[in-house]
């Protein structure tokens, strides 16, 4: 096991999320929307429940942590986030990213360790990591300066996935210092204006990291850290903790 994988795994596994549940309140929408949540979080440490409260609006999702509501969002916005991140953002790239908003009931699940499967074993599970990747990319685009790093496994993903290419083209046009990492299976176009790092150790081949570190100490820091544990199977989490984001940054800087 490479030192990079060891250090990233340590950051993931030290996270301890409290007891938390996504509660769908006063649902009037059709069953498939409820099943979207249930299938997306099946087997995870986040519970899914459904109830009725007169004091809450219809079709609302609450994030309940240790008995207290810490975030809420319309059920429709949660559904749209999953659907858009899987289609519109990949077809239209940064334009879709501008219109898309990540619901707080999802983004506030930071420090929770997820074990997720990609297609074909699961259609929805891995989308959670894609959603958070887009959230951190959007945060970096909004700020427009600071440090941004992302690992891609294969660099060709920056050229074959149209939406991803457009997002990173725009990131490269800002004042951000943008660094991308991957196995050098394809040379990137110079117009992307990205600092490219290549290699073939396990850190390059097995990691999925997206990190934004603004120039000042603010609550806008963010990092997704995930490792491929089997064929298209992932263990990952995300964090907004300044010190933890900086630790992830040090691993990417030193080991890649």
| pLDDT (tens digit per residue) in 36-71 | 788 778 788 899 988 888 878 888 999 999 889 999
> Residues 179, 194: contact at Cβ < 8 Å?
yes
Per-chain mean pLDDT for the chain: 87
* More confident of the two residues 213 and 188: 213
pLDDT digit string (tens) for 147-196? 999 999 999 988 888 878 888 999 999 999 999 999 999 888 878 889 99
Domain count, the chain: 1
Please state the rounded mean pLDDT for residues 67-96.
73
pLDDT (0 to 100) of residue 123: 54
CATH label of the domain that carries residue 231: 3.30.870.10
**Domain with 107 in it:** 3-255
Q: Does residue 85 carry a pLDDT above 80?
A: no
* Residue % of the chain over a pLDDT of 70: 88
Q: Does residue 82 carry a pLDDT above 50?
A: yes
From 90-94, 120-124, 150-154, the region with the lowest mean pLDDT: 90-94
Q: Residue 136, SS3? A: helix
Q: What is the largest CA-CA distance in the chain?
A: 58
Q: What is the pTM of this model?
A: 0.90
* Per-position b or e across 98-110, b if 16+ CB within 10 A of its CB: eebebbebbbbbb
Please state the rounded mean pLDDT for residues 73-83.
83
From 94-108, 126-140, 159-173, 198-212, the region with the lowest mean pLDDT: 94-108
Name residues whose C-beta falls within 8 Å of residue 164's C-beta, 6 or more positions apart in sequence: 90, 93, 157, 158
Q: Does residue 89 carry a pLDDT above 70?
A: no
pLDDT (0 to 100) of residue 77: 87
pLDDT (0 to 100) of residue 90: 47
């Amino acid at each position: 096991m490479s030192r990079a994988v060891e250090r990233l795994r340590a950051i993931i596994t030290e996270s301890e999320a409290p007891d938390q549940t996504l509660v769908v309140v006063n649902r009037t929408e059709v069953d498939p929307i409820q099943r979207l949540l249930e299938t997306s979080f099946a087997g995870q440490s986040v519970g899914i429940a459904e109830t009725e409260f007169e004091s809450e609006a219809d079709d609302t999702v609450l994030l309940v942590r240790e008995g207290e509501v810490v975030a809420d969002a319309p059920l429709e916005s949660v559904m749209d986030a999953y659907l858009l991140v899987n289609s519109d953002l990949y077809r239209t790239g940064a334009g879709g990213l501008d219109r898309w908003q990540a619901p707080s009931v999802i983004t506030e699940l930071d420090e929770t360790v997820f074990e997720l499967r990609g297609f074909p074993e699961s259609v929805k599970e891995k989308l959670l990591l894609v959603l958070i990747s887009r959230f951190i990319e959007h945060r970096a685009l909004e700020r427009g300066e600071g440090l941004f790093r992302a690992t891609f496994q294969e660099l060709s993903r920056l050229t074959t996935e149209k939406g991803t290419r457009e997002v990173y083209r725009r990131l490269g046009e800002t004042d951000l210092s943008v660094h991308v990492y991957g196995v050098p299976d394809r040379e990137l176009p110079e117009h992307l204006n990205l600092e490219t790092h290549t290699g073939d150790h396990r850190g390059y081949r097995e990691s999925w990291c997206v990190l934004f570190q603004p120039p000042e100490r603010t609550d806008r820091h963010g990092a997704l850290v995930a490792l491929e544990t089997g064929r298209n199977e992932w263990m990952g989490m995300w964090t907004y903790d300044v010190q933890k984001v900086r630790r992830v940054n040090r691993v990417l800087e030193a080991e890649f």
